[in-house]
Amino acid sequence: MGHGLTLLQREHRQIGIIAPIFHRFQAREDKLRHVSTGDPFNTANSFVLLALHVDNSHWCGVVFDFRQQSRSITVFDPLQAPKSKYYSMCDVLLRDLFGGVCKLMTIKKETKSRQPDVASCGVMVLMFFECYLRGIEMPRKPSPALLRFMRLRYLLKCIP
């Protein structure tokens, strides 16, 4: 996931990223210190991308959009299960680590796309980030073939 985020930052200007390794820290202070590494919330950045490894088993994506016309936080759970606990877990984590920003911005859920299996959450989150940055809609029902293609595409783009 970290390589995919770096790739998106390389391809798009004014992007801050928060490396997902911060999930491995136990203490809140350690997480906050790592989140600020690289200054993702620099005022020059229009977007900040945050990949959340929720429940230590599932990827969700968060985009902080600081553009004047948008100013929002969009959360994406690729599983989109009817009784999913992941949106609420993301909300708790966001409010704990980014409470000040959450109070100033509207939090929205991206619910238009759903992963077709139980193993595609990572590639779906990268697709969500890329579609958001490009201003295009996520595919509503991505096929397994599309996800295989996207996995390979991200892999090949990460190889120097």
Domain range for 91 is: 2-158
8 Å CB contact between 123 and 107:
no
Q: Are strands 72-76 and 58-65 parallel, antiparallel or unpaired?
A: antiparallel
The total number of structural domains that make up the chain? 1
8 Å CB contact between 126 and 1:
yes
How far is the CA of 69 from the CAs of 43, 46, 66, 72, in angstroms? 16, 11, 8, 9
> What are the DSSP calls for 47-106, one per residue?
EEEEEEEETTTEEEEEEEE--TTT-EEEEE-TT--TT-SHHHHHHHHHHHHSHHHHHHSE
Give the CATH number for residue 54: 3.40.395.10
Per-residue pLDDT of the chain in tens (160 residues, 90 and over written 9):
888 998 999 999 899 999 999 888 989 999 999 998 889 999 999 999 999 999 989 999 999 999 999 999 999 999 988 778 999 999 999 999 999 999 999 999 999 999 999 999 999 999 999 999 999 999 999 999 999 999 999 999 888 7
